[in-house]
Amino acid sequence: MMQYPLTIPRIRERARTFFPGKEVVTRVPGGTHRCTYRELHERTRRLANVLEGLGVKAGDRVATFAWNTYRHMEAYWAVPSIGAVLHTVNIRLAPDDLAYIMNHAEDKVLLIDEDLVPAIEAIADRLETVEHFVVMADKPTISARLPSAHSYEGLMAEAPPTYRFPDLDELAPAGLCYTSATTGRPKGVIYTHRGVYLHSMMECMTDFIALSERDVVMAVVPMFHANCWGTPFSAAMVGANQVLPGVRPDTRAICELIQQERVTVALGVPTIWVGLLDFLQRSGEKYDLSSLRLVVSGGSAVPPSLIEAYDRVLGVRLAQAYGMTEATPVVSISNLKSQMDSLTDAEKTDIRAKQGFLVPGLEMRLVDDAGQELPWDGQERGELLLRGPWIASEYYNDPRTAETFRDGWYHTGDIANVDEEGYIQIVDRARDIIKSGGEWISSVDLEAAIIAHPEVLEAAVISIPHPRWQERPLACVVPKQGSKGKLSPEQILAHLEGKFARWWLPDDVVFLDEIPKTSVGKYDKKVLRERFRDYIPVGRKEG
C-alpha cells in the first residue's frame, strides 16, 4: 500500500488545483472582501515566508487572536503547512486566562486583529514567550503599544509570493485549542494533521453535513472555538464557497449575509439560532433565507421547540451536532434514518432533539460509576466514553490528563442514554446534573420544556442546596421582550405540570434579564450556581 500522509497542505493544494475560482467572502465595514482559493493560496505562501522570517520553526506555536476573517483563514492554512502549530486563542477569555494559556502554550508569534489590540496591550508584559506581535489590519502601518510589533499587511507586501512547503508527518501537531474553562484553568488539546484530515472527510459525508462544491458555508461559530468545528478545512476540501461574518457580527448582519451570499449551510451555537428566530419574529424585518438547506447547531442541547420552530416558521432544517474540544470536535449529528420516514412529525422531532448517532471512524461506550458497560435501551444512564483517530489522547502538558484519558478511552463527563438505534441523548454534564434525594434530575430536559413556553426566550436550570434532599432544581428564565413583568413562576410551573414527575419540578423560578454565557456562547451555570448558592425558594422552610 502506498504511503500517503494525510496532511492539511493536501487540503490546501486540492482547493487551489480544482476550485481556484471559488471564494472566501468576509464581511467588512461597508461591504464584503472577496478572495478566491487561488488568491488565498498565494497569500498563504507569503504568510509562510513572513512566519519563517520571524523565526518560526516546525513545532513552534503561532497564536491567533482574531475574528472570522480571510486573514484568520490565511493563518489556518499557512501555520500548519510550514510544520508549526496554530493556536487559536479565545478572544472572550478573561485577562488572567489569556495570559495563562499563551504562556502555557509557549506561543512564539501572535497574530492580532486590530480592534482586539487593547486586550493584548493590557497583558503584553505578562506574556513570557511571545517574540513578535503582528497586527492584522488594512493599513501597512500600526500604532500599537506592543513590543516588537509589526503590520501584517506591511510584512505581507514585502514577502516573496513563492514558498517551498516541507513534507510533513501526518501525526505531527497542526493545531492547539484550549477548552472554554467551565471549571478550573483551560486545558489544551492538540490536533494532528491526520485527525483534521479524517475529520474533514467525515464532515463531507452524506449522512453528516453532506458538504459539496455547490455549497456556500457560513461558520458563525468563532474560528477560535474548537477549530471552527473543522469547517475551514472541510469546506475547502470540497471546494465550497465560504462566508465569514467578520468583526463583531450581530443577528441582522448574519441574516444579511445569508440573503446576499445565498448561504446553504450555517453553523453556530443554539443561542445564535434562538436569537435569530426571536429577531425575525420581533422586528418584523424580512430576509430571503430560502437558500439555507441546513442549520447545524452545537455546543449545548437544542430544545425540540427550536427544531420545530425552524421547520414551521423558516422552513429550514435545524440539525443538532454533538462534540467537544477534545474531539476536533464533532462526534455525532441528529439525522434521521430511512426507516424513520413514516414516523409522525412529533416522533421525528423527538429523535432530532437527541444528539444523533456516532459518525463513522469513532467508537463509544456507555458505562456506570464502576466502569461497567450499560445497555443501549434508551433508559440506562451512564458516562459516555469515546475513542477514534480525531479524539485526543491527552491534554497538552497538563496533569489532568490522567483523570480524563483512561485505558485508551476519553471520558467525556457527559451523562447520557443510548437507544436501540444508537442515538445518543445527553442527559446532562456530570457537574450539572441535579441529584435530589439520591435520584437524578436532568437540567437539560427541564430547560427544553421551559423554552417551549411561548413567552420564554432562554432558560437554565441549576441545582441549589437543600437541607433534606441535598439538591433541588432552580429555574432561571429570561422572558421574551414584551413578556417581562407579565410572566410568573406559577405559569412556568403550570407549563411543566404533567410533563415530569412532581419531584422533578423546580422549587422556584427566578427571572433574569440575561443568562450569563461562557466565552463560546454556552450557558455559564457555574456563575449561576455561585450567584444563587444561598438562595432560599419562596415558601421553603429550612430544617
Asked if 428 and 439 touch (Cβ cutoff 8 Å), the reply is no
Asked if 485 and 516 touch (Cβ cutoff 8 Å), the reply is no
Asked if 500 and 449 touch (Cβ cutoff 8 Å), the reply is yes
Catalytic residue among 162, 435, 484, 503: 435
Catalytic residue among 26, 44, 64, 179: 179
CATH code of the domain made up of 8-22+34-192: 3.40.50.12780
Say what the pLDDT of residue 543 is: 39
Say what the pLDDT of residue 536 is: 87
pLDDT tens, the chain, 543 aa long: 899 999 999 999 999 999 999 999 999 999 999 999 999 999 999 999 999 999 999 999 999 999 999 999 999 999 999 999 999 999 988 899 999 999 999 999 999 999 999 999 999 999 999 999 999 999 888 888 899 999 999 999 999 999 999 999 999 999 999 986 555 789 999 999 999 999 999 999 999 999 999 999 999 999 999 999 999 999 999 999 999 999 999 999 999 999 999 999 999 998 899 999 999 999 989 999 999 999 999 988 888 999 999 999 999 999 999 999 999 999 999 999 999 999 999 999 999 999 999 999 999 999 998 999 999 999 999 999 999 999 999 999 999 999 999 999 999 989 999 999 999 999 877 778 787 876 778 888 899 899 999 999 999 999 998 888 888 999 999 999 888 888 999 999 999 998 888 888 999 999 999 999 887 788 888 899 989 988 888 766 443
505-508, Cβ contacts within 8 angstroms, sequence gap of 24 or more:
505/473, 506/446, 506/461, 506/472, 506/473, 506/474, 506/475, 507/464, 507/466, 507/472, 507/473, 507/474, 507/537, 507/540, 508/474, 508/475, 508/535, 508/537, 508/538
Is 179 catalytic? The answer is: yes
Alpha carbons 120 and 100: distance in angstroms, whole number: 13
Extents of the domains making up the chain: 8-22+34-192, 434-531
Alpha carbons 102 and 79: distance in angstroms, whole number: 16
Alpha carbons 266 and 209: distance in angstroms, whole number: 10
Alpha carbons 115 and 226: distance in angstroms, whole number: 22
Say what the pLDDT of residue 467 is: 80
pTM recorded for the entire structure = 0.87
Say what the pLDDT of residue 182 is: 54
Of the CATH numbers 3.10.105.10, 3.30.300.30, 2.40.40.20, 2.40.30.10, which one belongs to the domain with range 434-531? Answer: 3.30.300.30
Catalytic residue among 74, 261, 326, 383: 326
Is 326 catalytic? The answer is: yes
Catalytic residue among 285, 337, 440, 530: 440
